[in-house]
Structure 1
Amino acid sequence: MRSLAVANAPTPAAEASKDLAVGQRLQRLCDLLGVAGARLSNISADGLTAIAVAGDQTPVPALEARARAAAQPLVIADTDQPPMRFYAGMVMPGEADHPSQLLSLFDPRPRSQMMATTIAAVAGEALAMAAIARQRRVIEAQNKTIADFTALEEQRRTLFDRASATARIGIWQCNLSDDSLLWTNGVYDLFEIPRNTPVTRELALACYPELSRQRMEAARAHAIANCSDFALDLEIITVKGNRRWMRLTGAVESRDGVAHRVFGMKQDITEEKLLADRTRYLAEFDVMTGLANRSQFQARLAELDSGSAQFGALLLVDLDGFKQINDTHGHAVGDDCLRETARRLVECCIGAALVARIGGDEFAVLLKADLPRQDGLALAQGIVDTMRRPALAQGRTLRISASVGVAQYGGGSAEELFHQADTALYAAKAAGRDTSRSFAA
């Protein structure tokens, strides 16, 4: 027995080879995520023991300590502590014979919050899948000696749930012969259905809004017909009525070219989706007024140069004497005036291609190409008339006015159209303000 134990013990060379393989996988993960370095460490009562390191950067011990203690992955888009600016750390729970592990990702360059969260989500998914693969090998080895298949299946599901907890992933499968479903706890939790409840496709489909259901069914049918894979992000409504976003992946298992099982993962990406939507909103919209911001306006106007869009006219709107309102009554009153201006513009410009705030008290309106010239001129005067109405701001009744410059699009570049509208706006101001003018070529 002693000689057998010695023969089966891992040799230093074997351990070194294993560490090298893990390091190579870490480097591939770094390359995939575009980060400079990564470290995978075993967690023990004594601290962290590095298993493998990729890249030439060194993580900050204080951040690794925070990540180790955190209940959720620790993601810092910008540490403000050069030389390392970005950090993400996540813990993979251990098993009886395998310690918990900490994966750290780091880079000297900061990331946007959305990008940092996305990197962490992908890394967490990769970590969970690696653990699932490891546990699958353990289960397959145990399958040779465990006679009770029911006990083995329960163990498989428990291990899968523990492995996927960090990335909020659940495993699912559907037997195509009878449409029977098998879910791990992660999927039950995602749909807010009590664990171990018997589930059917009808019960699951009832949680999909119509558009999500159509997209999912189309992707699933295509994969089954072609024995291929699919992946898409979908909205669901849980049995408790909560709206969530889910990343669904699936693969078809076939026999002799005929699909017989579909299986894959379902991951709760609600926080990631909300963050992405919020980041996109901040990039494209003015927070104070809710109108499109200057960045979105410039992007839409530039469509003239690419030929992807045509517009009938551009109106530039400038509040008269807005600085005096701010100086006299304060910025809170000024902000209310801006919001009221935005509301009135939207009210006046129903059907416009875009209404945007492009500066402190400057607004722009892009009109559709099929709008007659006279309608554009009438709209400009209508804006002037609407802005004259008294405005209530912070309990004060104020009188505001606006000047409007109009440029009809008859060809040329986006820059030329903006210059023409700007010229018309200055003509309106020179005429005494509270009026509109049109650019005359």
Structure 2
Amino acid sequence: MREDAAASVLSDEVRVRLYDQALNAARIGAWECDLQSERLSWTSGVYDIFGYPAGNPLRRAAIVDLYLDESRRNMELARADVIRSGRPVTLDTEIQTWRGERRWMRLSINATQDGDRPVRIFGAKQDVTSDRQALEHLRRQAETDPLTGLANRAIFQARYREVVGDSLNYGFASALVLIDLDGFKELNDTLGHLAGDACLCEVARRLRRAFHNAGLVGRLGGDEFAIILRAPRSPARIAEVLQHTLAMLSRALFWNGHRIEVSASIGAALIGRPHRRRIADLFEEADLALYRAKAAGRNRVQLIGDETQSRAA
């Protein structure tokens, strides 16, 4: 009988060990919080997720500070809802570990009741950082031009609707700008597509640096780029900014011992007011402005809009 009992105890120990191993492999830990004292209890998996030394005292205020701002607000709202309603909640939160590393964590919250009074909340915490990174990588692939890393045409058009409809910033968008490189086909024919790709990447880098605070930059395809310009607002200032953009783009670049001259033509459609104009109409106007810039000799700016007469810069 003793041997059978020992075998039974050993079997229980094995089951517990396997269970703990499975949780650790899945980067899951369990937790609970006594609502009266706010005393926290963690399994080792939660300590690992937070990178928190096992010997340090668990003070809820210090742990809450490890959540990033938006995640902290969402977590506190979810926690309060579970305590109030008794319904379980699961949400993804972003934390900064005790060692300063950012991680995503899936948090589940449930409540234990004593009669009608919640006395304890508990749940699981799982490190889902790799899953979030994989999803973010797929999102970037879907939304960006693979060569330059700028927004692609589809996401550029979607972001236009967000910018002009942003009530918080009063629909702050001033112009749709199209940029077409001059003589790009000749560059490809002369030095090859690798040189052309290097030129496109350098142009993208210059545009991203020049407009990182003032607009959304995208590559529509080939050698055509686009900008949703948020500032400045006046036609005169827009023309001045775009003239500076021409000068910036016209600086030569060097590739494999070759000096590559760059120039561009720019057409811009002024958005004006009201902001709820169809993007197809703005593209049509910007295309017309771009055509006029090229017809006038290239390497110049042309503006079209309802609030101003067409002008060249």
Q: Same fold (TM over 0.5)?
A: yes
Q: 1:246 aligns with which of 84, 91, 105?
A: 105
**2:282: which partner in 1?**
417
Q: Determine whether 1:312 maps to 2:174.
A: yes
TM-score of the superposed pair, with normalisation by structure 1: 0.58
Q: 2:75 aligns with which of 216, 219, 222?
A: 216
**1:200: which partner in 2?**
58
Q: Determine whether 1:271 maps to 2:130.
A: yes
**Does the 8 Å CA contact 1:161/1:170 hold for their aligned counterparts?**
no
**Does the 8 Å CA contact 1:161/1:184 hold for their aligned counterparts?**
no
Pairing 1:129-168 to 2, within 5 Å after superposition: 158=17, 160-165=19-24, 167-168=26-27
Kindly provide the CA deviation profile for residues 171-209 of structure 1, in whole angstroms up to 9, marking residues without a partner as x: 221222333333333323323346x65751346445434
* In 2, Cα distance between equivalents of 1:299 and 1:341: 23
**1:392: which partner in 2?**
254
* In 2, Cα distance between equivalents of 1:155 and 1:211: 41
Q: Determine whether 1:368 maps to 2:227.
A: no
Unaligned runs of 5+ in 1: 1-96, 98-141, 147-151
* In 1, Cα distance between equivalents of 2:165 and 2:64: 42
Question: Match of 1:261, SS?
Answer: strand
**1:181: which partner in 2?**
40
**2:4: which partner in 1?**
none
Q: Determine whether 1:432 maps to 2:291.
A: no
Q: How far did residue 387 of structure 1 move?
A: 1.6
Q: How far did residue 162 of structure 1 move?
A: 4.2
**1:232: which partner in 2?**
91
Q: Determine whether 1:353 maps to 2:212.
A: no
* In 2, Cα distance between equivalents of 1:386 and 1:182: 59
**1:402: which partner in 2?**
264
* Aligned partner letter, 1:249: S
**Does the 8 Å CA contact 2:181/2:262 hold for their aligned counterparts?**
yes
Q: How far did residue 258 of structure 1 move?
A: 1.7
Q: How far did residue 284 of structure 1 move?
A: 1.8
* In 2, Cα distance between equivalents of 1:293 and 1:241: 34
CA gap 1:163/1:349 in 2 versus in 1, 3 angstroms: closer
* Aligned partner letter, 2:40: L
**2:3: which partner in 1?**
none
Kindly provide the CA deviation profile for residues 285-330 of structure 1, in whole angstroms up to 9, marking residues without a partner as x: 2243232221111213356998985632211000111122223223
* In 1, Cα distance between equivalents of 2:66 and 2:280: 49
CA-atom RMSD, angstroms? 3.3
Pairing 1:264-303 to 2, within 5 Å after superposition: 264-302=123-161
**Does the 8 Å CA contact 2:175/2:270 hold for their aligned counterparts?**
yes
Corresponding pairs, count: 291
**Does the 8 Å CA contact 1:348/1:382 hold for their aligned counterparts?**
no
**Does the 8 Å CA contact 2:232/2:238 hold for their aligned counterparts?**
no
**1:334: which partner in 2?**
196
CA gap 1:243/1:347 in 2 versus in 1, 3 angstroms: closer
**Does the 8 Å CA contact 2:164/2:172 hold for their aligned counterparts?**
no
* In 1, Cα distance between equivalents of 2:130 and 2:140: 15
* In 1, Cα distance between equivalents of 2:181 and 2:69: 45
Question: Match of 1:328, SS?
Answer: helix
TM-score of the superposed pair, with normalisation by structure 2: 0.79
Kindly provide the CA deviation profile for residues 6-37 of structure 1, in whole angstroms up to 9, marking residues without a partner as x: xxxxxxxxxxxxxxxxxxxxxxxxxxxxxxxx
* In 2, Cα distance between equivalents of 1:206 and 1:372: 44
* Aligned partner letter, 2:280: E
* Aligned partner letter, 2:122: F
Q: How far did residue 247 of structure 1 move?
A: 0.5
In our comparison, the structure showing a higher alpha carbon Rg is: 1
Q: How far did residue 351 of structure 1 move?
A: 4.0
Pairing 1:3-152 to 2, within 5 Å after superposition: none
